[in-house]
Homo-oligomer: A and B are copies of this chain.
């Protein structure tokens, strides 16, 4: 049982408000991210984990299902559960957000806020009003940012927020390197749950090309869609333009 060594220094807090299956998921995720579990490695079996942590096997399975959805592991019935090969691919769409994602990969990244303002123009930003379920006449907060990795611009992101969520960012003005998702989750205590995004290929016009430091007419990915909170309230409408040469989109689909 090499799992004993592997799992030492890990433990569950049964009195925590954090569900047990989330704790197990995060322990396994940490073992993978830290390299203690390498791609191809078999992770401890469901029985081993349920015995080790003194929890039900169904709870362990709940953790596994999460990790499958996130692409960390795959299961071979009758054989075991194995760590997937890490992907070099950037996931545009992780709800964890840009900063933590890039940091995990070891890249220094930062942002520049081009513009942050209150807007009240249904005609110009109809998609955002619709996406957030707001009526014409209501005010939104609009944030334009350029994302950099190691001094190279990667993306232009425009976020539209309902006034009650975004007004705290107007004064004082949101810092260049602040994380929007961190602000929403940590400061406002709104837990994010679901993002409903659409992606299309497109071409860079002159303004976009300048900001992203690419040639006019270069391929880009256009993304737009709404992010929802845990209780299904729309929290953000995002429009993103991503450099086609730097970004790719990885999707794992399970039937």
Contacts and interface: CB of A to CB of B under 8 A. Distances in A.
Q: Specify how many copies of this chain sit in the oligomer.
A: 2
Best-surrounded residue of A69, A77, A219 (most CB of chain B within 10 A): A219
B248 A198 contact: yes
A244 B194 contact: no
B201 A244 contact: yes
A251 B251 contact: yes
Given A76-B232, A95-B255, A89 B198 contact: yes
Best-surrounded residue of A197, A201, A230 (most CB of chain B within 10 A): A201
A250 B194 contact: no
Given A192-B255, A255-B193, A248 B76 contact: no
Contacts of A217: 217
A88 B201 CA distance: 17
Contact of A95 (B199, B219, B253): B253
Interface residues of A, number: 39
Given A74-B232, A232-B74, A232-B76, A93 B251 contact: yes
Interface of A: 58, 65, 69, 74, 76-77, 89, 93-95, 192-203, 217, 219-221, 230-232, 244, 247-255
19 contacts: A77-B230, A77-B231, A89-B198, A95-B255, A192-B255, A193-B255, A197-B251, A197-B253, A198-B248, A198-B250, A198-B251, A199-B250, A200-B219, A201-B202, A201-B219, A202-B244, A217-B217, A249-B249, A251-B251
